[in-house]
Structure 1
């Protein structure tokens, strides 16, 4: 299959390198130092066990017109970055091209092909004005849940921290030929890639932790382990998760694990900084709308109260605004 990876970062690099090593045709859409490094040296992958693999056959282009139509476009950007690539994205589309959304949080397509009273609703928090939906037809979209953690050590070099699972699924739950082909290609590359019958319910299990632990960590500068082992913040996360569960269940989602099991899973990760805390420390834009603001909006749509989530969302939104206005970063450092 022909794959275009839009976002040559930690997850995109992990996927693209492994797919290329498995014999797939992989093109990265990249810029600046990433573009130069990939074209000069390919992509180097440091696996979880420390072994190194070199994907020498990958190529990188800056303009999507140079890549041409693909079988699959892997969107491995952060949610707020999708709008930036829309003007050129259609250059990657052929008649049968699928767009695989490997993005954290509630996606813009959440209500597309969702049978029931909310079908076709637009989410302003993640797609103001419906701009993304206008550029990417819902028929192209395949959902995906990203479980691994990896790190871009330098341009063209990714280190896998842990995990290799990427669930994939059609928005209507169909087990189509294309989603089967995608699953097979990912499994051939060494990933666990089950076809999900209900991609939204699986999405919520991951979001359950992200919507709580990410903003709490951004505000407190604490790791997952610290948040879970400090009674007040553990209860704060649980309160946010209970509200989110009520919202999700109003929308037809059923959780297959308990809230305590989800918290225990986060605690087991250990002294890990969430992605949102890392963004605060590096002065990057926060994935706040996709992870938290969208849940507040879904609460309004489903007429479900979310007072705790709204309070944390307000505080984290002001932090994000302050950092952006000051072009600053914020980190806790030990005194010498």
Structure 2
């Protein structure tokens, strides 16, 4: 299958490497050091058990038009980065192209083919001008939830931490032939990609952890297991999750696992830095609006109070502003005794 991966960060690089190693025709749409590294050496994947794999036959380009129309486009940028490339995505999309969105948080298409009171509502936290909805037609989109943890440890080098699950789902809840086909391609590459009838419920299940663990980790510089095992942080995470659960319920979403089990699942991941903490340390803008701001917005939309989430959102937004003004990141510095 002819596949373009927009972005070769932790998740885009991981998925693209797995697909390429399985024999798919993969083109990475990248720039900078990643473009240079992948063009010269291919993409390297270090699996969770330390095994190293290199996919040397991948293509890499920063030119969307040169890449041409694809059968599958995997949009693997973070939500706040998509606006910058929205005008270029059309070069990759033909009449039958499927666009799999791999953004964390509430996606820009959430209320398209949703039905009910909020049908067609534009989530301003993730698509403030409606640009994404205008440039990526809903009928091309196949929703996806990303569960694996990975890190970009060097240009063109991906460290897989854990997980292989990428549930897929049509916006209208149908089990389509194209969804089955993409699922089969993923599974052939060693990824778990069940096709779900309610992809929005799965989005909320993932977001349920992200809405609390990401901002808490970014502010406290703590890993998942640290947050879950420190009583005060665990209590704060639970309070934020209760607020998010109330918002989801107003939108007809129920969770298939208990709150305590969701926290236990995060704890089992271990000493993993969340994506937001990685961004803060690297001086990159955190994806705070998609992961947290969207829940604040939907709380307002549904008349649901979210005081703990509001506070975390305000603090990370302030940190984001300070990082931008100071042109820097924030990293824990080990002090050596004199």
Shorter chain as normaliser: what TM range? over 0.9
Matching of residue 29 in structure 1 with residue 37 in structure 2 = no
Gaps of 5+ in 2: none
For 1:31 and 1:272, how far apart are their aligned partners in 2? 27
Shift of 1:203: 0.9
- Detail structure 1 runs of 4+ shifted over 4 Å in the superposition: none
- TM-score, with normalisation over the residues of structure 2? 0.97
For 2:45 and 2:61, how far apart are their aligned partners in 1? 20
- TM-score, with normalisation over the residues of structure 1? 0.97
For 2:16 and 2:315, how far apart are their aligned partners in 1? 37
Match of 2:291 in 1: 291
Shift of 1:244: 0.3
For 1:277 and 1:44, how far apart are their aligned partners in 2? 23
Matching of residue 209 in structure 1 with residue 209 in structure 2 = yes
Matches within 5 A, 1:194-273: 194-273=194-273
Match of 1:93 in 2: 93
The alignment's C-alpha RMSD in Å is 1.1
For 2:314 and 2:110, how far apart are their aligned partners in 1? 23
For 2:89 and 2:287, how far apart are their aligned partners in 1? 21
Matches within 5 A, 1:1-336: 1-336=1-336
Shift of 1:88: 1.1
For 2:236 and 2:319, how far apart are their aligned partners in 1? 19
Shift of 1:272: 2.0
Gaps of 5+ in 1: none
Shift of 1:173: 1.1
Shift of 1:49: 2.1
Shift of 1:307: 1.3
Instruction: Describe the superposition over 1:159-192 as per-residue Cα deviations: whole angstroms up to 9, x where unpaired.
Output: 2111111111101111111111100000011111
Shift of 1:33: 2.1
Instruction: Describe the superposition over 1:178-223 as per-residue Cα deviations: whole angstroms up to 9, x where unpaired.
Output: 1111000000111111001111111111111110011111112222
Q: Secondary structure at the match of 2:96?
A: coil
Instruction: Describe the superposition over 1:57-97 as per-residue Cα deviations: whole angstroms up to 9, x where unpaired.
Output: 21111100011001111011111000011121100011111
For 1:246 and 1:99, how far apart are their aligned partners in 2? 31
Shift of 1:28: 0.6
For 2:93 and 2:159, how far apart are their aligned partners in 1? 30
| Number of equivalences | 336
**Larger CA deviation: 110-119 vs 34-43:** 34-43
